[in-house]
Amino acid sequence: MTEPGSDELSAEDAKLVTLARATRARVGAAEGAAVRDADGRTYAAATVDLPSLSLSALQVCVAMAVASGSRGLEAAVVLTEAGALAAGDLAAVTELGGAGVVVRRGDPRGTLHETRVTG
């Protein structure tokens, strides 16, 4: 599904786009992501690419939410140059959030191009 732009997003989802964009830009990472957990808390992260550890930005966000005691997710955004959401990203979101979590993929500028719902 194509998402025309962030102007049609709720304020909470637009915040996720802003957090993901700022985090990616601040560290110059390949990806930036942000999630909102079931309690409304947000987590933002960038890609981790070390010789001994590689995690996508969305996987880092999920790990941060788990480490903070989150019991679920409501929404996620990943900003990347990739042409599709990665299977590992969707799996991580589904494992914590279950079915019904909205996951959006956009380009590094924050323009959204894909929306998926975990099932």
Name the band, by pLDDT with cuts 50, 70 and 90, for residue 8: confident
Q: Chain centroid to CA 4: how far?
A: 18
Res 71: pLDDT: 95
Q: Span 46-54, mean pLDDT?
A: 97
Residues 6+ apart with CB under 8 A from 58: 31, 33, 35, 45, 76, 78, 86, 89, 92, 93, 103
Task: Give the pLDDT confidence of 66-111 residue by residue, as tens digits.
Answer: 999 999 999 999 999 999 999 999 999 999 999 999 999 999 999 9
Range 11-107 classified under CATH 3.40.140.10: yes
Q: How many CB atoms lie within 10 A of CB 83?
A: 8
Structural domain spans, the chain: 11-107
Is 7's pLDDT higher than 60? Answer: no
